[in-house]
Amino acid sequence: MSPRIGLDQTTLLQAAAELADTHGFENVTLALLARKLNIRTPSLYNHIDGLPGLRKKLSVYGLERLYEKLGHAVQNHSGDDAVRALGKAYLAFARSRPGLYELTLRAADPGDPEAADAGSRIVELIVDILSAYDLADDAALHAVRGLRSILHGFASLEQKGGFGLPLDLDKSFQLLLDAFLEGIHAMRDHMAPNDRRKL
């Protein structure tokens, strides 16, 4: 087996992500990755710190890819349109990159600034989108939590085969987002004017 020339960490992570999407991230081993890259397994240690290091870097890689997809989707959108665009892009990512998506859900090491930063960028994007509704601090944070729970909950249930009835999943997701948006508008309408301020 001849060594792979020009192997770098990005190429390695792309290959590992493809394996995770195909086989599930729990089934990605260093031996499988080395075989895909046509290198010997010890060569991987030039780029990663074993299997735990690979999974940590894949988690960050997945969060970065998800952020890019979401950020691109909401460009030139605001308010309800931005929320719907965000939701559609989030679900599309989970569907097209199932292994990588599952890795983004793994709890980040609080001592790892790279993982913390990658995760916080997604949260900040959602906060920015929902700031259009002028919710007060606590209400805004509840709304962010609610939207994240909807996106993750639906994507995860779908990924695990949790929806068994023969109903259009995209329609269900659309109705769920519509219900969330109605709730956000109701929250805003019932707030006293002095309680409204941008995040």
Residues 81, 97: Cα–Cα separation, whole Å: 24
Residue spans of alpha helices (H) in 75-136:
79-96, 98-104, 113-130
Closest by CA to 84, choosing from 186, 173, 183, is 173
Give tens-digit pLDDT for 59-83.
999 999 999 999 999 999 999 999 9
- Overall pTM surpassing 0.95 (yes/no): no
Confidence class of residue 191 from pLDDT cuts 50, 70 and 90?
Answer: low
